[in-house]
Amino acid sequence: MTDATERERFEARDENDVLAGVLTYQLTGTIIAYTHTRVEPAYEGRGVGSALARAAMDDARTRSRTVVPICPFLSGWLDKHPEYEKIVVRSTRRIK
């Protein structure tokens, strides 16, 4: 996983450097909003989305950032990974 800061996204690439998926974000100060996760069709079902989510969340925790999970995929992933809840801010209204 690579944080492509100039594109405001984390990128997952395969062993041939082919883009497998991305998780986009918007950073304002210490608040990072993860906006969208996209996995290329050829890589679906291989854990690319989960790997992107974990890399992004670990990076946010290391950098002491507050996470706003706008992306539905990431929000659902966080429901299964309570170890990140201390750095997550959610709306009181959840849309599913």
Domain boundaries, the chain: 2-87
- pLDDT per residue as tens digits for the range 1-55: 899 999 999 999 999 999 999 999 999 999 999 999 999 999 999 999 999 999 9
What is the CATH topology of the domain spanning 2-87?
Aminopeptidase (3.40.630)
pTM of the model: 0.89
- pLDDT per residue as tens digits for the range 73-87: 999 999 999 999 999
What is the distance between the terminal CA atoms of the chain, rounded to a whole angstrom? 27
What's the confidence (pLDDT) of residue 90?
A: 81
Give the residue from 22, 18, 19 showing the smallest Cα distance to 10. 22
Give the residue from 44, 37, 47, 39 showing the smallest Cα distance to 9. 37
